[in-house]
Amino acid sequence: MKPKIIHIQDVTLRDGNQALRRPWTIKEKIEVFDLLVDLNVDGIEVGFPSSNEAEFRTCQVLASRAPKGKPIAALSRANEREIAVTWEAIQKADKPRMHIVYPVSDFSIKHVLKISEKEVLQKIRSAISFAKSITGPGVEIQFSGEHFGDAIENFHFTKQAFMTAIEAGANIINLPNTVERYRPMVFVNMVKEIKDTIGERAIISVHTHNDLGMATATSVESVYVGASQIEVALNGLGERAGNTNLYETAIALHQNGETLNINFQRIFPTAKRIAELTGIPIGEKTPIIGEDIFSHRSGIHQDGVTKTLHQSKGAYRTFSPEFVGRNDKERISFTNQSGHKAIEFLLKQKGIQVSKEEVDHLFSLAKSISSSENNREITEAELVALCQSSFAYQ
Ligand SMILES: [Zn+2]
């Protein structure tokens, strides 16, 4: 199924913030909000207003700051007091969205809620009806069935729970993989079945966590069975191993031919700033934003890279650094794993032309230095110096 519209809903300010060692101040939350607006995500969840007074005020400020037409959501549990507080916090937004969550899995119903399925349905119906009664008709209501990804034993009931939510007034059904326990296709097939059940009666959204490292795959594949909203977080922030990573999801969909509203060039500057604001460093090998992901060190790869450097499709490149707002380029580095092409390429970049025999000589020299010094990388400057000392005419 080809997706018609893909809505990228960011939850960094709620799910991301609630899992930080030091949750953000209002000033920091405003900065993150502005980064999200610049990145042009389709919607922003600003917080959980009932958690504390400062969070409530922050949600009010962010709701007033929201650009026209940008959905601004806030989370509430399924009780009237919290729903009323949440509405008060976001109603100044041009397009407020109420987000109500209640568990639906058999395990949670039996071991956490300890109530009957019938009572769960009543709770969902009354919470959403109440939200609808205070917001009026034009406001979006999103219902999340917490632990949907674990609702395998009572899947029939889960469908009933979502139908109840829709009948009471929900127009977005959010399917969370609250804890990632199973392989992606188990979740994706469940999403498909919910889509088949509810059809066009509501928008389907997915919200996945990354406990097993498969959140991006799970969310991206869900789009192709009917989910048209994906909830994501900057730098993959969020509870435990985090939420679905915004950058990975957006690039994966883009690379597969989908149209998104994301301002891709803002990805790298945003990621760097979020790393500063959280104190959580970006790993060197982190997809899209890691320091080392455009380096090539093995001989076979260096050969392919140098031959396709200026083509839109690179032999060992999925997307270009500039596409995501990076200043760096594909890099060739020299180690004892590298090939002759690396020497030729690195010197050529410095405007130095060398013969095949000279490349052979420098290659042996550089390899022996690397091997004798614990296999260390030989820098471009060292190669130039080696070249100059070996061949006086340079
Ligand atoms: Zn979550």
| Cα 201 to ligand 1 centre (Å) | 24
| Cα 379 to ligand 1 centre (Å) | 44
pLDDT grade for 20, boundaries at 50, 70 and 90: very high
- Checking if the pLDDT of 342 tops 60, the result is yes
| Cα 238 to ligand 1 centre (Å) | 7
What pLDDT shows up at residue 392?
65
| Cα 54 to ligand 1 centre (Å) | 21
| Cα 187 to ligand 1 centre (Å) | 15
What pLDDT shows up at residue 4?
84
Please give the average per-residue pLDDT across 381-390, as a whole number.
93
3 state SS of 338: coil
Find out whether 301 and 316 touch, Cβ atoms under 8 Å.
yes
Burial class (CB in 10 A: 0-12, 13-18, 19+), 253: buried
pLDDT in tens, 274-333: 999 999 999 999 999 999 999 999 999 999 999 999 898 999 999 999 999 999 999 999
**What residue ranges do the domains of the chain occupy?**
7-278, 295-390
Helices (H), the chain: 17-18, 26-39, 53-65, 80-90, 106-108, 117-135, 155-168, 184-198, 215-223, 246-255, 267-278, 299-307, 340-349, 356-372, 380-390
| Cα 222 to ligand 1 centre (Å) | 16
Tokens of 69: 């037409």
Q: Which residues surround ligand 1, an ion (CB under 5 A)?
A: 15
pLDDT in tens, 169-206: 999 999 999 999 999 999 999 999 999 999 999 999 99
Using left for φ > 0, alpha for ψ between -120 and 50, and beta otherwise, residue 340 falls in: alpha
| Cα 15 to ligand 1 centre (Å) | 6
What pLDDT shows up at residue 175?
98
| Contacting residues for 171 by C-beta, under 8 A, at least 6 apart | 140, 141, 142, 202, 203
Query: Which residues face 167 on adjacent strands?
Result: none
Topology adopted by domain 7-278: TIM Barrel (3.20.20)
- Please report the sign of the dihedral spanned by the C-alpha atoms of residue 44, residue 198, residue 251, residue 300: positive
pLDDT in tens, 132-174: 999 999 999 999 999 999 999 999 999 999 999 999 999 999 9
| Contacting residues for 104 by C-beta, under 8 A, at least 6 apart | 120, 145, 146, 147, 148, 151, 154, 157, 158, 161
What pLDDT shows up at residue 1?
73
Task: Express as a percent the part of the chain with pLDDT over 90.
Answer: 97
Please give the average per-residue pLDDT across 84-111, as a whole number.
97
| Cα 208 to ligand 1 centre (Å) | 7
What pLDDT shows up at residue 394?
44
What pLDDT shows up at residue 391?
86
